Amino acid sequence: MSRLLFLLILLVPLAGFAETQPRTGLVLSGGAARGLAHIGVLKALEEQGVQIDAIAGTSMGAVIGGLYAAGYSVDELEKLALELDWQQVLSDDPPREDIPFRRKQDDRDFLVKRKLSFRDDGSLGLPLGVIQGQNLALLLERLLVHASDIRDFDRLPIPFRAVATDIANDKKVIFRSGHLPQAIRASMSIPAVFAPVEIDGRLLVDGGMVDNVPMDVARDMGVDRLIVVDIGTPLLPREQLLTVVDVLNQSITMMTRRNSEAQLTTLRPEDLLVQPMLAAFGSTDFGRAEQLIDAGYRAADALGGRLATMRSESGGNLSLSLARSAEPRTPLITAVRIENDSKVGDAVIRRHIRQQVGKRLDVQDLQKDMGTLYGLDYFEQVEYRIVHGKPGNTLVVTAREKRSGTDYLRLGINLSDDFRGDSAFNIGASFRKNGINELGAEWLTRLQLGDRQEFFSEFYQPLDAGSRWFVAPNLIAQAQNVEAILDNDPIAEYRLQRYGYGLSLGRQIANNGEIRFGVGQAWGEADVRVGDQQLPDFSFEEGYYQLRYSFDTVDDVDFPREGEDIGLTLRQYDPSLGSDRRYRQWEFRLDKAFSFGLDTLVFGGRYGRTPDDAEIVTSSFLLGGARQLSGFRQDALSGQNISLARMIYYRRMTPRSFLPLDFPLYLGASLERGRAWNNDNAFDSGYINAGSIFIGYETPLGPLNFSYGLNDEAERALYLNLGRSF
């Protein structure tokens, strides 16, 4: 108590002196990536000893200004700008390692990443923006967790205002209070790019639409003079307006320029205008953060003479100093509360939150948990905040069901052509109905037509809130071509048709894998379609026990840079389950990726084994095609046993884009060695060496690969693959 009184005594004269000092307001305009220049300006202001008494910001100006007002130092802001994965921040997809394993498997079934969503009434649901802002919202929550319960923005270390636009009536919305991360997020919701933020029944978009340089807002905060930082985006010349995206951006730029110019006409003699030289920078140049910060610093430093007249002679901002020197911004959590309006139960959400009551907030784990919850595909957005009260700090997790619906249709296409008359074409579709009950049951149905025909339907029922244990009955129907080979020569092509059902009991392994034990029955027939018509047609019945292990940590299915993909399947065909024969089969596959800068190496292969006597046609594995013993056409080799080892190298040839439309180009090559053989010694290919060179391009429909392959069996082929081929 005595220390507090002593401090107050010391502050009284300072406070009285401060009343004689002009109050300085800082205005930070919007400009997307160009807004990183604000950090350099703040650095120059601090070096000149200029004390900021109030901040008003729009869009990226609201981000930088809000963080600074909440207590972040310039060094912290600069570190964030340089080290953040901006491509991840400006997307909705969590890092693939955080996605539930079941959603990872969806990536391997079909090619088109974008899904059509349907509401419960069957109507098609469309999003309100290309980006929902999930990762951006989580970032702001993490950075501002220490201030998340400050409702009055005048109580921040520096009073702060954020500007947004009500898209329903074109009105300016000034945030003086509320949830700070949410207010900042609303201020930077670029129309059609980011989905609007709904607050108190209003749909809010980027404040730059009505007030990109909020000088009027800052003056209303009671300041005497302004430091205005204008980073407005210039108009593109006619020759650079090439796409619909360019036209949309140009339209937004025109709107922001008009209201910015109107505000700048209100500059007074005591005000200072800072306009960094940013003509060489675009609104998506987040990868040039260091140069942007430097440009802002140089622009402000060049005005050092004027800034010297604004230098504060007071004792500084005590609350700001305390905020910067405070202990880690991780409060002790005394309770967890779930706010949920989705079809799944609160227990499912709570099970995915690892935060323990009585422990300090683990921001890193919580971020991963948010990504996992969002990856379930039930929610439009998953957010958290800390509520401070008399009992302590409550972690509140808010999960909002997708307005566009939670049932998904996904389409796919796969094309392979060796330019020698052999081609394979498949189209497919899957429909997944989510949230059938509170435990999060799903019903997945998949259909594929073309060279390989398949119908698959599975009902996935979790047995606990965390989906750790599950039961999954399924139905399946397949049809494919399998070659019969004698003395290393193909003598016929069978059309193999199989119908069956099964039941699995499984256990999820975190987000990385699962293990299943199941039983199944199948029956079918094999007919000679091409070749020796003297060979017999036959029917068969199968009954089996199966153990399957799957593990997936790759960061990308098509062109992984790190991680591994492992699969092991063991089957025991047994007459007690209706099988014609008793025999065993197992298959192992592995791919492991390593990256060095832009270069990636993938080591892996397959090994399939049938150690017992069995019908060759029904028990054969398929091999051949691009990077599957290159030089052969797709599935040209079949055998009861196969082996494949390979090394794939590729290099990304295009820079990363910070927009959702990122379609990189790769150049690569592969080396392969493999073999196919039957148990009766009637066919054995021997070990075959193969290799290929390829150009890969990620398209909205999936990876497009052009390959040239050859092997030491004098087989050569050109491949066109639209679809997954690794």
As annotated, the active-site residues are 59, 206
| Three-state DSSP state, 580 | coil
Q: Is 194 exposed, middle or buried (0-12, 13-18, 19+ CB in 10 A)?
A: buried
Rg (CA), the chain: 31
Q: Which tokens belong to 218?
A: 């800052």
In the chain, count of helices (H) and strands (E)? 15, 31
CA dihedral 436, 438, 441, 443 (to 10 degrees): 10
Q: What is the 8-class DSSP label of residue 280?
A: T
Residue 586, Cβ neighbours under 10 Å: how many? 15
Contact (CB, 8 A) for 170 and 210: yes
Residue listed under structure tokens 């049938």: 610
| Three-state DSSP state, 40 | helix
Q: How many CA atoms lie within 13 A of 470 on its CB side?
A: 24
Give the span between the Cα atoms of 452 and 449, in whole angstroms: 6
CA distances from 559 to 414, 651, 697 (A): 17, 10, 10
Give the span between the Cα atoms of 440 and 378, in whole angstroms: 9
Q: Is 163 exposed, middle or buried (0-12, 13-18, 19+ CB in 10 A)?
A: buried
Q: Is 419 exposed, middle or buried (0-12, 13-18, 19+ CB in 10 A)?
A: exposed
Contact (CB, 8 A) for 214 and 226: no
Residue type, 650: Y
Please state whether beta strands 453-462 and 225-229 pair in parallel, antiparallel, or not at all (unpaired).
unpaired
Residue type, 447: L
| Three-state DSSP state, 310 | coil
Residue type, 410: R
Phi, psi of 618 (to 5 degrees): -80, -15
CA dihedral 383, 94, 91, 562 (to 10 degrees): 160
Q: What is the 8-class DSSP label of residue 550?
A: E
Single out the residue of 154, 147, 220 nearest to residue 180, CA to CA. 147
Contact (CB, 8 A) for 31 and 232: yes
Contact (CB, 8 A) for 379 and 408: no
Q: Which tokens belong to 719?
A: 């491949």
Residue listed under structure tokens 């005595």: 2
Please state whether beta strands 160-166 and 202-206 pair in parallel, antiparallel, or not at all (unpaired).
antiparallel
Residue 201 CA to its chain's centroid (Å) = 28
Phi, psi of 381 (to 5 degrees): -155, 145
332: Cβ contacts below 8 Å, ≥ 6 apart = 358, 359, 360, 361, 392, 393
271: Cβ contacts below 8 Å, ≥ 6 apart = 225, 226, 227, 228
Contact (CB, 8 A) for 284 and 235: no
Please tell me the total number of residues recorded for the chain in this structure: 726
Residue listed under structure tokens 């930088």: 64
